[in-house]
Structure 1
């Protein structure tokens, strides 16, 4: 069965998905509809990727789509998700929106009432399957994330040595660095929550990639994951793995074998 996708956002990740899914004709999935603000700006997408453009959310949701994929930003999630989840299963990459407890509970309630699913791709990190399994009995005791990024992505002045720019809980990390630490929220939701997940953010002038180290401790034992992210070839500000995690999520949803 083919799944028809409705895409929100045509930035770096949106363009990656259009190329990988429609241009390369990924098996079993196709982007049919794209929601944009300015139709004229993105008119060429219709012929290039054989999609239909929409500027109105209601028309977009009523189009021939089975699942909505958000690849825009936190503001788009807060505006669009409550409506989208009433009508369709939805994948979101701007997971920082779910740091807001009231908003998170609201959309989860809507998903339950309307019997639709919110999918949260792992983004730029890994190990979430292990963390979720370890937390099945509620016995994970500690989860910490240390993120090391190129200094110029975190501070606006030159530094010679690494500097810890944040140390605290995930709930505060996403408030101070809303565009830099989405990974802390998906990690928190998979594990022990945003108030118990510890986050350290380091600005390092000697690295050119984003590095994430996740440490988990509990009754199961302990685990450590270290991830160094390459950027998208077409956009140095976007994680390649984050973009691939959406594509991977779509393929797993559509597959007959579920791993993990």
Structure 2
């Protein structure tokens, strides 16, 4: 499967190293869409890829699927055009907190016969939540604790709650940090009803997510302690791996979970 990549940051480089550096994989990144071709020119020779700055030329290049690895604003701008032409994997899931964009992309995917894949990112338990939601889920809450410096600029000595509200408002205030709240919302009871608390902690170097849910199925509580991504402490390492895992599972004939 040939892959087109939007963005050339830390996660994009992780995918390039894992996929284009492994000849055993039946997955390869062929094209990359960037804003500044000269800045990322070395990627062409290092990973045997072609850089594009024109979106339509990028979408017409040799690819089967597009992976967005940029940011929420880029996702909002580019996703409608992408899903008209190709299947896609969306990393910046926070973009779908915009109800109008979600409705537009859903309609376009159906009309053009394409699929939008949403990786689980830095958390797990989405299969449990989706299955439970076939019945009735009454509450879903997320408490995220991250290194203080990845959330706020001020120096603090003790842990500080920097946000408490719902997922829709959380992604507006922390668009680079709380994508997990939106994937939880999409799998469960929506962004308005999904409760979120964000804690800036000067005493941790981990990204910690605690999810609690209740419903007809019973109750579930689980905690994931993630190492930050080496090249970007605002991102969990598991988030990068979930994208790679999503791509690798696409062609499998035996699929676990769901």
State the TM-score bracket (shorter-chain normalisation): over 0.9
Aligned length: 257
Query: What whole-Å deviation, never above 9, does each CA across 1:22-63 have from its counterpart, x for those lacking one?
Result: 012352211111111222222221111111111111011111
Query: Cα gap change, 1:26/1:134 in structure 2, threshold over 3 Å: closer, same or farther?
Result: farther
Compute the RMSD of aligned alpha carbons: 1.2
* CA–CA distance in structure 1, aligned partners of residues 130 and 191 of structure 2: 15
Matched residue SS, 1:113: helix
Query: Cα gap change, 1:240/1:37 in structure 2, threshold over 3 Å: closer, same or farther?
Result: same
2:212 matched to 1:208? no
| Structure 1: gaps of 5 or more residues | none
Matched residue SS, 1:40: coil
Report the Cα offset of residue 243 of structure 1: 0.5
* CA–CA distance in structure 1, aligned partners of residues 209 and 6 of structure 2: 27
TM-score when normalising by structure 2: 0.96
TM-score when normalising by structure 1: 0.96
Report the Cα offset of residue 237 of structure 1: 3.5
> Which of the numbers 52, 55, 60 marks the counterpart of 2:53?
55
* CA–CA distance in structure 1, aligned partners of residues 35 and 68 of structure 2: 14
Q: Does the 8 Å CA contact 1:131/1:191 hold for their aligned counterparts? A: yes
Matched residue SS, 1:184: helix
Equivalent residue runs for 1:19-38 within 5 Å: 19-25=17-23, 27-38=25-36
Say which is worse superposed, 30-39 or 140-149, in terms of deviation: 30-39
Q: Which residue does 1:238 correspond to in 2?
A: 235
* CA–CA distance in structure 1, aligned partners of residues 27 and 223 of structure 2: 31
* CA–CA distance in structure 2, aligned partners of residues 16 and 190 of structure 1: 26
Q: Does the 8 Å CA contact 1:12/1:238 hold for their aligned counterparts? A: no
Q: Which residue does 1:166 correspond to in 2?
A: 163
Q: Which residue does 1:112 correspond to in 2?
A: 110
* CA–CA distance in structure 2, aligned partners of residues 140 and 63 of structure 1: 43
Report the Cα offset of residue 96 of structure 1: 0.8
* CA–CA distance in structure 2, aligned partners of residues 215 and 152 of structure 1: 26
Report the Cα offset of residue 154 of structure 1: 2.1
Q: Does the 8 Å CA contact 2:205/2:228 hold for their aligned counterparts? A: no
Matched residue SS, 1:41: coil
Q: Which residue does 1:178 correspond to in 2?
A: 175
Matched residue SS, 1:58: helix
2:140 matched to 1:135? no
Q: Does the 8 Å CA contact 2:80/2:108 hold for their aligned counterparts? A: yes
Q: Does the 8 Å CA contact 1:216/1:223 hold for their aligned counterparts? A: yes
Report the Cα offset of residue 160 of structure 1: 1.9
* CA–CA distance in structure 2, aligned partners of residues 59 and 232 of structure 1: 31
Equivalent residue runs for 1:138-153 within 5 Å: 139-153=136-150
Matched residue SS, 2:238: helix
Query: Cα gap change, 1:93/1:150 in structure 2, threshold over 3 Å: closer, same or farther?
Result: same
